[in-house]
A = this chain, B = another copy of it.
Amino acid sequence: MTGGEALLAEIREQPAAWRRLADAHEPITELGARLARDRPALVRLVGHGTSDHVAVYASYALRLLCGWTALGDAMSPALYYGVPAAAPGEVAIAFSQSGETGDVVAWLRAAAEAGARPVAVTNVAGSARAAAAPDATVLAHAGEERSIAATKTYTGMLGAVALLGAGAAGRGAAMAAALRTAADLAEAALPRLEADAARLAERFSDVQRLYVVARGVELATADEVALKLTEVAYVSAKALTATGMAHGPVAALEPGFPVWAVAGDDAALAAVTEAVTRAREAGAPVIATGPAAARIAGAAVTIPTPDAGERLLAPLLSVLPGQLAARALALAKGLDPGTPRHLRKVTTAA
C-alpha cells in the first residue's frame, strides 16, 4: 500500500474511529463532570499544528457546551520567560496526537506545578504527555495513524473535546449518541465527498496559493484544511477569519488565487458570505464547503457536508473535503500524499 492509499484508508476509517470513541465515552464524560464540579476559573488550551487547531475548536466547544472560559494560550511565556504557566483553580489542557511533543509536555508539567489541574488529550496511551497528567488523560481512540498528515487523530480529538464538554454539562450520553449519528452520516457521504474532491483537484490542479476562510465554530476547520493542503499538496494555504481577510490579505487575491470558504450553518455565516463577496469582487475563484456550502453564491466548486444535527459535531464532517482534496491534489501533482517531504511523524524538538 502506498502512502497515498494509507492516507485514504485513514480518512475512510474516521466513522469507525468515532464509534470506538463513542463506545469509550464514559471516562471522558466523567472527567468533564469532575472538572465542572470545581468550576474552573480559566481553561488554558495549547498545542502545535493540527493539535493547535483542536485547541481552537475547544475554545468554542467548551464555552458553548459548558460555559467555561476556555482560551488558547501560548507556551512561550512559561517556557522562555519565567511567567507562571497557569494558576490554582485553573484547568490546563494540552493537545498532542503523539503525546511526545517536548515543549507541550514541559508546559503541562509547569501548569501542574503552578497549581492548575492538568489534562492531556492524546491518541497514544502511555505517552510522555499522558504521564504528565496520569489521572486526567483523554484518549482519542483513533487507532494507530501511519500517515504523516493527521486526519483521524484530528477528528478523534475533536470528538473527545465534545464529549468532555458535554460531560461537564451533564449530557455526555447524548453527545456520544450524536457522535454515532455523525459517524453514520460521514460514512454515507464519503463516496460522494471523494468524487467531489477529485473534481476539485481537477479544476484546481495548478493551485499554488489559497486562503481558507471561516468564522466561529468552523474556524478550526479552516486552520486544518489549510494545513492539510500545505503539508500534503504543498499549496501555500493560509487560514483567515472571514472578517480578518478584509483587513489586508484580500489585496493579494487574483484570478489564480482561490478562496476556500467553510460555511457553517449558524449566525457566523453572514461574515463568510461577506468575505466571499469581497473575494469574487477581486476575481478570486471560490470553493464552498461545509453544511451551508449551498448558500454560498457563485462558487466554482461546491461540496456540501451533512448536517450533523449536534452543532458542535459539524467540524468533524466539514473537514472531510479538505482532507480528501489535499490527497487528490497531491495525486494530481504526482506527489505521495502519505509521506510529505521534510516531515517526521513525532516532533520532539523543545
Number of copies: 2
A73, A251, A278, A340 interface centre (most CB from chain B within 10 Å): A251
Chain B residue nearest to A344 in the complex (CB): B246
The CA-CA distance from A270 to B267 in the complex, in Å, is 43
Question: CB distance B244 to A231 under 8 Å?
Answer: no
Known: A48-B243, A60-B77. A236 touches B252 (CB 8 A): yes
Q: Is A195 an interface residue when CB atoms closer than 8 A count as contact?
A: no
Chain B residue nearest to A268 in the complex (CB): B80
Question: CB distance B266 to A248 under 8 Å?
Answer: no
Which residues of chain B have C-beta atoms less than 8 A from A266's C-beta?
Answer: 80-81
Which residues of chain B have C-beta atoms less than 8 A from A1's C-beta?
Answer: none
Question: CB distance B208 to A230 under 8 Å?
Answer: no
Per-position binary interface string of chain A over residues 233-254, scored 1 when its CB falls under 8 Å from any chain B CB and 0 otherwise? 0111010010110111111111
Per-position binary interface string of chain A over residues 66-102, scored 1 when its CB falls under 8 Å from any chain B CB and 0 otherwise? 0101011110110111010001000000000000000
Per-position binary interface string of chain A over residues 48-61, scored 1 when its CB falls under 8 Å from any chain B CB and 0 otherwise? 11111000000110
Known: A42-B42, A235-B252, A252-B234. A341 touches B282 (CB 8 A): yes
Question: CB distance B251 to A340 under 8 Å?
Answer: yes
Question: CB distance A243 to B349 under 8 Å?
Answer: yes
Assign chain A's interface to a size class: 35 or more
Q: Is A131 an interface residue when CB atoms closer than 8 A count as contact?
A: no
State the Cβ distance, A230 to closest chain B Cβ, in Å. Answer: 5
Q: Is A190 an interface residue when CB atoms closer than 8 A count as contact?
A: no
Chain B residue nearest to A72 in the complex (CB): B72
Q: Which of B64, B219, B278 contacts A342 (CB 8 A)?
A: B278
The CA-CA distance from A63 to B86 in the complex, in Å, is 12
The CA-CA distance from A347 to B217 in the complex, in Å, is 23
Question: CB distance A50 to B248 under 8 Å?
Answer: yes
The CA-CA distance from A274 to B81 in the complex, in Å, is 19
Q: Is A257 an interface residue when CB atoms closer than 8 A count as contact?
A: yes
Chain B residue nearest to A227 in the complex (CB): B248
Chain B residue nearest to A253 in the complex (CB): B342
Q: Is A216 an interface residue when CB atoms closer than 8 A count as contact?
A: yes
Known: A64-B83, A251-B343. A76 touches B268 (CB 8 A): yes
State the Cβ distance, A148 to closest chain B Cβ, in Å. Answer: 8
Chain B residue nearest to A278 in the complex (CB): B342
Q: Is A135 an interface residue when CB atoms closer than 8 A count as contact?
A: no
State the Cβ distance, A10 to closest chain B Cβ, in Å. Answer: 16
Q: Is A184 an interface residue when CB atoms closer than 8 A count as contact?
A: no
State the Cβ distance, A154 to closest chain B Cβ, in Å. Answer: 11
Question: CB distance A250 to B343 under 8 Å?
Answer: yes
15 more contacts with CB within 8 A, not counting A49-B244, A235-B252, A246-B349, are: A48-B241, A48-B244, A60-B81, A63-B81, A64-B81, A71-B73, A76-B216, A81-B217, A208-B208, A208-B236, A227-B249, A230-B248, A236-B238, A251-B340, A282-B341
Task: State the A residues within 8 Å of B (CB).
Answer: 41-42, 44, 48-52, 59-60, 63-64, 67, 69, 71-74, 76-77, 79-81, 83, 87, 103, 149, 208-209, 215-217, 219, 227, 230-232, 234-236, 238, 241, 243-244, 246-254, 257, 266-268, 270-271, 274, 278, 281-282, 340-344, 347, 349-350
Which 5 residue pairs across A and B have the least CB separation, nearest first? A49-B247, A251-B340, A231-B248, A209-B236, A80-B267
